[in-house]
């Protein structure tokens, strides 16, 4: 019997199996909240952080609220789920921070630190690829036909994990190819087999990943992501993300304006130079000039 990847899942909203609309899946760490998961020292600090200790990346709460609301006049309450490599006992402090930021959500999947230690697999604490693939595929089981938009960062392996996941759903990776990619990414054999089993359990007619957004938390050059294709959009901060989402018709102008104000109000924020961010967004075609003109006074 295959051993399941240790996840702690709470899903507060059950979508109809035939639901084929948009679903937003956000990685919390370094995409919404500033966290320290790149070292054992950073991991050691996580258990003692409280809601007040957690800092949101400037403008990201505004983007999340705008996505949840939708671009129309009525509140759409678009499904929004989070995944986090934090231990599940931090659920209270993370949700406390979300409450403070006015960020509604429909569920969070955590990496279960206690179970992974009980299984004598401490290597999983720093495993990102296996965790992201497991969390995404488990989530997909309950919304098989959804059109997903994925949000991550450049600090670990979000681009690789999201791309492998998207290609797997499209049928672009044969099982041996998927196995090789996961093995190269450090995913252990038992976890690779479980991930493959989750893919096999999906119905023949299942949804796809519409777009992947990667927040450039550590300033990785955007050109480094060209190998992932046009469906992956690297963004510098929340304002560029808001512009990219406005281009897709997922948020309204009010969200873009609110995000700009939040970014401008953040002292010494490295992505706070508005003209530079706008110019770069246009140059990299994150937003078209036609859509940009609709923003008028921004």
Pairing type for strands 33-34 and 55-56 reads antiparallel
The verdict on residue 187 lying in a domain is: yes
pLDDT at residue number 52: 47
Q: Find the CATH number of the domain harbouring 100.
A: 3.40.50
The verdict on residue 83 lying in a domain is: yes
Residues of the chain predicted below pLDDT 70: 1-2, 36-53, 297-298
pLDDT at residue number 111: 93
pLDDT at residue number 53: 55
Q: Which of 277, 276, 270, 142 is nearest to 201 (CA)?
A: 142
Burial group, residue 273, by CB count within 10 angstroms (0-12, 13-18, 19+) = middle
The beta-strand segments (E) located in the chain are 7-11, 22-27, 33-34, 55-56, 80-84, 107-111, 147-153, 209-215, 232-235
Q: What is the pLDDT of residues 104-136, one digit of tens each?
A: 999 999 999 998 888 878 888 888 999 999 999
The verdict on residue 30 lying in a domain is: yes
The verdict on residue 154 lying in a domain is: yes
Q: Which of 135, 162, 144 is nearest to 200 (CA)?
A: 144
The verdict on residue 42 lying in a domain is: yes
Count structural domains, the chain.
1
The verdict on residue 67 lying in a domain is: no
| Torsion, CA 121, CA 137, CA 222, CA 239, rounded to 10 | -110
Q: Which of 187, 130, 123 is nearest to 158 (CA)?
A: 130
Pairing type for strands 209-215 and 7-11 reads unpaired
Q: What's the Rg (C-alpha) of the chain?
A: 19
Burial group, residue 3, by CB count within 10 angstroms (0-12, 13-18, 19+) = exposed
Parent domain of 42: 7-56+74-237
Q: What is the pLDDT of residues 269-281, one digit of tens each?
A: 999 999 999 999 9
| Torsion, CA 156, CA 228, CA 4, CA 97, rounded to 10 | 50
Q: Is residue 200 classed as helix, strand or coil in its secondary structure?
A: helix
The verdict on residue 244 lying in a domain is: no
Give whole-number Cα distances, 261 to 257, 272, 275, 281, in Å. 6, 10, 13, 17
The verdict on residue 175 lying in a domain is: yes
pLDDT at residue number 38: 45
């Amino acid at each position: 019997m295959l051993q399941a990847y240790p996840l702690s899942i709470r899903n507060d909203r059950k979508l109809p199996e035939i639901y084929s609309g948009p679903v937003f899946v956000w990685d919390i760490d370094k995409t919404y909240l500033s966290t320290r998961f790149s070292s054992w020292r950073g991991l050691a600090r996580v258990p003692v952080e409280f809601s007040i200790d957690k800092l949101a990346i400037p403008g990201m709460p505004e983007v999340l609220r705008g996505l949840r609301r939708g671009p129309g006049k009525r509140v759409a309450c678009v499904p929004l789920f989070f995944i986090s490599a934090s231990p599940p006992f931090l659920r209270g402090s993370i949700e406390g921070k979300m409450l403070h930021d006015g960020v509604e959500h429909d569920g969070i999947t955590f990496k279960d630190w206690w179970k992974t230690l009980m299984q004598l697999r401490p290597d999983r604490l720093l495993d990102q690829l296996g965790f992201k693939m497991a969390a995404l595929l488990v989530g997909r089981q309950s919304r098989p036909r959804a059109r997903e938009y994925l949000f991550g960062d450049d600090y670990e392996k979000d681009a690789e994990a999201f791309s492998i996941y998207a290609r797997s759903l499209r049928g672009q990776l044969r099982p041996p190819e998927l196995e090789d990619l996961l093995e190269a990414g450090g995913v252990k054999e038992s976890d690779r087999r479980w991930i493959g089993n989750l893919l096999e359990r999906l119905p023949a007619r299942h949804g796809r990943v519409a777009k992947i957004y990667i927040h450039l938390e550590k300033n990785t050059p955007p050109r480094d992501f060209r190998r992932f294709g046009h469906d992956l959009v690297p963004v510098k901060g929340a304002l560029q993300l808001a512009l990219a989402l406005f281009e897709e018709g997922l948020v309204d102008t009010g969200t873009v304006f609110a995000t700009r104000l939040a970014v401008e109000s953040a002292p010494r924020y490295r992505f706070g130079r508005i003209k530079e961010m706008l110019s770069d967004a246009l140059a990299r075609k994150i937003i078209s000039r036609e859509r940009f003109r609709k923003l008028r006074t921004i």
